[in-house]
Amino acid sequence: MSDYNEFERNQRESLMALDGFRIAVTPLPCEIEAFDLQSSSKKIEEEIEKLVNDAGIKTLTSEQYGAVNAPGNLGITVESIKSDRGTYVYAVRAYVTQLAVLERDIRRERNDFYPVVTWMSPRLRTGEVSSQLFVSRIIEQIRAVAVDFVEAYKQAQSELQL
């Protein structure tokens, strides 16, 4: 098995048997707020939460997050920069973090937990777009990486049932 295939398998396995996910979209670039006040990070988080829930994946509030045994965090990052030509270059990615104990700490009999990335969307969604299409393209890409997560999660759960 190639190292890449093993890496993909390990990422999928990290999604197995989690009790739910807290959703977080990094603060959106100020350009989005300037173009479209309806597209705040909070509104997008709510939309992603609905997409994930509609797929049968449990989402967690902050209060619920602390009360379950195996929670995860689904994060979505959006980065953009305005080019000299007046277009926007962007990158969007989804990732899952979980709390983990490092092997070195186990050997030292410590149980400090650290947030670690255990899954990332299979591809970084990048592009360049005009300012008129910027908001709609970013929203489209955020939805796409959320769908990447849903597909990976469902695949992991089906493998768990085998």
Q: What is the pLDDT of residue 26?
A: 84
Protein fold of 3-161? Double Stranded RNA Binding Domain (3.30.160)
pLDDT of residue 136: 84
Report CA-CA distances (Å) from 95 to 21, 50, 80, 109, 113: 11, 17, 18, 29, 18
**CA 162, chain centre distance (Å):** 26
pLDDT at 113: 86
Residue 10: the pLDDT is 81
Mean pLDDT by runs of 10 across the 162 residues of the chain is 71 88 85 62 86 96 90 93 90 94 79 89 92 85 95 89 70
Nearest CA-CA partner of 71 in 110, 44, 97, 106: 97
At residue 77, the pLDDT reads: 93
What pLDDT, on the 0 to 100 scale, is given for residue 74?
A: 97
